[in-house]
Amino acid sequence: MKTEKKRTIKQEYLIIKRAIKLVNETTPHFTFHCAFFSFCCSLTRVGSNYITASIVDELTGDRRIKFLVIMLSCYLIEILLRIIRDYSWRRVRTFNIIASKWEDMLLNNKSFETDYKNTEDSTVRANRQMITDRAGQSGFNVLMEQLVCFFDGAWLLLLGAGICFGMFFKHSPHELFGAEKFIDSPLMTLVFFIVVAILSVVDYKKITKFSRRIVESQKKRALCQIPLHYYLNDYTDDSKAGKDIHIFNQKRLIRSSVDRFYGEWEKCSKEWFVNMRKNNNAHNIIYLISNSITYLYVALKVYIGAFGLGGFLKYQFCITRITESCTILSRSIAELRANNDYLELFFEYLDMPSEMHYGTIPTEKRSDNIYDIEFHNVSFRYPHSDVYAIKNLSFKFKVGEKVAVVGMNGSGKTTMIKLLCRLYDPTEGYITLNGIDITKYDYEDYLALFSVVFQDFRLFSFSLGENVSCSQEYDEDKVLSCLNIAGMKERVSALPDGLKSVIYKDFDENGIEISGGEAQKIAIARALYKDAPFVILDEPTASLDPLAEYEIYSRFNDMVKNKTAVYISHRLSSCRFCDKIAVFHEGEIIQFGSHEDLLKDTNGKYYELWNAQAQYYKDNATA
Ligand code: ADP
């Protein structure tokens, strides 16, 4: 997190400018509406006082009917101003209501578009978490509120100063001597304004000092909130965690962690509160002194006859507003700068560069599925890692061949699939499709060639039909056929709402709960529905028993007849039907051939793995 970095005024301004530009895209003329709304508010406040003061002056002075009528009709303008003001307020307020979801949508759009590597990168994930966790206290909402405050302060200062300026020229009509003469002099007015200005500067300094402390304690508080929220909400609320909490009595561990973070959070909250109080106290004292001096000065001017009761009301009100505006301005600037920490992080996330090369060549649309893919001396290291997950891999997928990929955990099987599907690009070497480097193809076109069921696939709380087709409109017969092939026939026919049944109960109390095995079958049906020339199963059947897995794999084999298929499995028995088996070890293919051929090499890894598993099945069978 780069919040400790000091930004220059220009950098602060540029962040705010960019944020405003972005907001303008969803709420046109956003800044104008903020400024106009604040202007109307300030004008109605200062204006009402001015009119009241002028009426009082007139009633206690010349009592001109025409002037009184003009002043009273000014109230009508004020009503009109309030109506126009409300239009701008509605625009600003509407943004205020949608801002947080709009921010989430921008972040989500970025995560859809960003290179896949960023979604796995721990630094990127931590930054995203930080943005999400601070979103309550910072963001575009705060930008809006503080912009309104800033304009409010600026308008009050301008309007107040404009009216008070007249005070320099208000003198007593009587001849005065001594102290009274000094009170009436422009010098006294100047001294008064200098004193008020000094008090405002002191107030600004205090506010800036405490605001910085408040922001620091807010940040510390937000950092404690991350683990606290995880333990109190995310983990405990996760129904899947319930079993572990009970069986492993995790409540002790959770409670002690919560106690620790709660203690720190409470400390930071108190620190935050104390700084707020000190800030308010300091401001209130300065405000009181400044107000008393103002009352005294204006009262003295009335006493010497420079202006009447109306003038007292008018000038006292305006000077108080000027002092208030200094506080509002300094506070809003401090808040805007603190909010820039969040916006900077937010923009850093949006600006994450894409390092993948996205080509433009469309892939050939072939009904014969002749798509030759070949790895040429491919090596790969994950970002921030010195270790090669794939080493110098050269390998060709023959069209229509069924290839099993086997090997120990961490031997690089899934990484090879990620490279094949261009979730990552090779660190060294290259991959070709029909002789052309895959980076030269249009990315979406290239991805359309693959149907993959990953180990950690996800289903959504959408209807069964939508989950399989990944679309709101789908071919029902095709969805049903894919579900049948995946082994869900009985289950689907027993569902009262059929394909319309919503999976899980997150949004629908009639949603269906499905077992791990059923989820895997639905994920396989989804891969079948895509009907891509390459089908890849990356151990999606891990929670099925060996027989069920074998059944699915061999049925799948029938379904993907003329397609190229890659099967990854721990269970070598499931892969016997494949044409070829690639044995991975420490990022390399150390053996490649048919099941029978590989078994002949009694010193080979495949023989070792096969016997280790065959032994296990035999032991289980005799037990
Ligand atoms: P397999 O599928 O054979 O179990 P993987 O391809 O998942 O193996 O992993 C190969 C190696 O790459 C392992 O050492 C693993 O720890 C590492 N690895 C996998 N994913 C990542 C990642 N996102 N970041 C860093 N290292 C990773």
Could you tell me if the CB of 407 is within 6 A of ligand 1? yes
Separation CA 492–CA 476 (nearest Å): 12
Ligand 1 atom 21: the closest Cα is on which residue? 382
Could you tell me if the CB of 418 is within 6 A of ligand 1? no
Q: How many CA atoms lie within 13 A of 537 on its CB side?
A: 33
Q: Is the pLDDT of residue 3 over 70?
A: no
Q: Which pLDDT does position 446 carry in this prediction? A: 93
Q: Taking a C-beta distance cutoff of 8 angstroms, is the pair 511, 502 a contact?
A: yes
Could you tell me if the CB of 123 is within 6 A of ligand 1? no
The dihedrals phi and psi of 199, each to the nearest 5 degrees, come to -60, -40
Could you tell me if the CB of 417 is within 6 A of ligand 1? no
Q: Taking a C-beta distance cutoff of 8 angstroms, is the pair 308, 302 a contact?
A: yes
Q: Taking a C-beta distance cutoff of 8 angstroms, is the pair 421, 450 a contact?
A: yes
Helical axes 140-165 vs 9-26, angle rounded to 10°: 110
For residue 415, the CA-to-ligand 1 centroid distance in Å is 6
For residue 587, the CA-to-ligand 1 centroid distance in Å is 9
For residue 33, the CA-to-ligand 1 centroid distance in Å is 52
- pLDDT-derived band at 540, boundaries 50, 70, 90: low
Q: Is the pLDDT of residue 30 over 60?
A: yes
Q: Is the pLDDT of residue 622 over 50?
A: no
Least confident of 409-423, 482-496, 569-583: 569-583
Separation CA 320–CA 171 (nearest Å): 21
Separation CA 409–CA 477 (nearest Å): 39
Q: Is the pLDDT of residue 526 over 90?
A: yes
Ligand 1 atom 25: the closest Cα is on which residue? 382
**Residues forming beta bridges with residue 373, ordered by sequence position:** 397, 433
Percent of the chain with pLDDT strictly greater than 90: 32
Look up residue 169 and give its amino acid.
Answer: F
- Burial-class residue 516 by CB neighbours within 10 Å (0-12, 13-18, 19+): exposed
For residue 476, the CA-to-ligand 1 centroid distance in Å is 38
Could you tell me if the CB of 411 is within 6 A of ligand 1? yes
Q: Taking a C-beta distance cutoff of 8 angstroms, is the pair 245, 197 a contact?
A: no
| CA proximity to 384, closest of 125, 131, 5, 586 | 125
If DSSP codes are grouped into helix, strand and coil, which group holds residue 434? coil
Ligand 1 atom 24: the closest Cα is on which residue? 382
Pocket probe mutation, ligand 1, options 391, 415, 416, 569, max atoms within 8 Å of Cβ: 415
- SS3 annotation, 484-542: HHCCCHHHHHCCCCHHHCEECCCCCCCCECCCHHHHHHHHHHHHHHHCCCEEEEECCCC
What are the tens digits of pLDDT across the range 78-104? 888 888 888 888 888 888 888 888 998
Could you tell me if the CB of 119 is within 6 A of ligand 1? no
Q: Which pLDDT does position 543 carry in this prediction? A: 62
- Burial-class residue 496 by CB neighbours within 10 Å (0-12, 13-18, 19+): exposed
Question: Distance from CA of residue 118 to its chain's centroid?
Answer: 14
**Cβ of 523: how many Cβ atoms within 10 Å?**
21
Look up residue 480 and give its amino acid.
Answer: L
Q: Which atom of ligand 1 is nearest to the CA of 385?
A: 25
**Residues forming beta bridges with residue 534, ordered by sequence position:** 450, 564
Separation CA 160–CA 143 (nearest Å): 25
- pLDDT-derived band at 416, boundaries 50, 70, 90: very high
The whole-chain average pLDDT of the chain stands at 86
Q: How many CA atoms lie within 13 A of 47 on its CB side?
A: 19
Q: Which pLDDT does position 6 carry in this prediction? A: 81
Q: Return the structure tokens found at 2.
A: 């780069």
What are the tens digits of pLDDT across the range 552-564? 776 777 777 778 8
Q: Which residue has the higher pLDDT, 513 or 247?
A: 513
Query: What 8-state DSSP symbol labels residue 235?
Result: I
Q: What kind and span of H or E run contains 376?
A: strand 373-381
What are the tens digits of pLDDT across the range 561-588? 778 889 888 778 777 778 899 999 999 9
Ligand 1 atom 26: the closest Cα is on which residue? 382
| Candidate ranges 245-249, 282-286, 479-483, 577-581; pick with highest mean pLDDT | 479-483
Could you tell me if the CB of 118 is within 6 A of ligand 1? no
Q: Which pLDDT does position 616 carry in this prediction? A: 57
Give DSSP secondary structure letters for 301-358: HHHTTSS-HHHHHHHHHHHHHHHHHHHHHHHHHHHHHHHHHHHHHHHHHHTPPP-S--
Q: Is the pLDDT of residue 2 over 50?
A: no
What are the tens digits of pLDDT across the range 229-251? 888 877 777 666 776 777 777 88
Pocket probe mutation, ligand 1, options 381, 382, 409, max atoms within 8 Å of Cβ: 382
Q: Which atom of ligand 1 is nearest to the CA of 412?
A: 6
Q: What kind and span of H or E run contains 416?
A: helix 413-420
**Cβ of 190: how many Cβ atoms within 10 Å?**
11
Query: What 8-state DSSP symbol labels residue 450?
Result: E
Q: What is the mean pLDDT of residues 505-524?
A: 84
Q: Which residue has the tokens 């850093």?
A: 348
What are the tens digits of pLDDT across the range 439-449? 999 998 999 99
Contacts of 540 (CB under 8 A, 6+ apart): 453, 454, 455, 457, 520, 523, 524
For residue 410, the CA-to-ligand 1 centroid distance in Å is 5
For residue 414, the CA-to-ligand 1 centroid distance in Å is 7
For residue 396, the CA-to-ligand 1 centroid distance in Å is 22
Q: Which pLDDT does position 40 carry in this prediction? A: 92
Strand pairing category for 436-437 and 428-433: antiparallel
Q: Taking a C-beta distance cutoff of 8 angstroms, is the pair 3, 219 a contact?
A: yes
For residue 586, the CA-to-ligand 1 centroid distance in Å is 10
What pTM was computed for the model? 0.77
Percent of the chain with pLDDT strictly greater than 70: 94
Q: Which pLDDT does position 621 carry in this prediction? A: 42
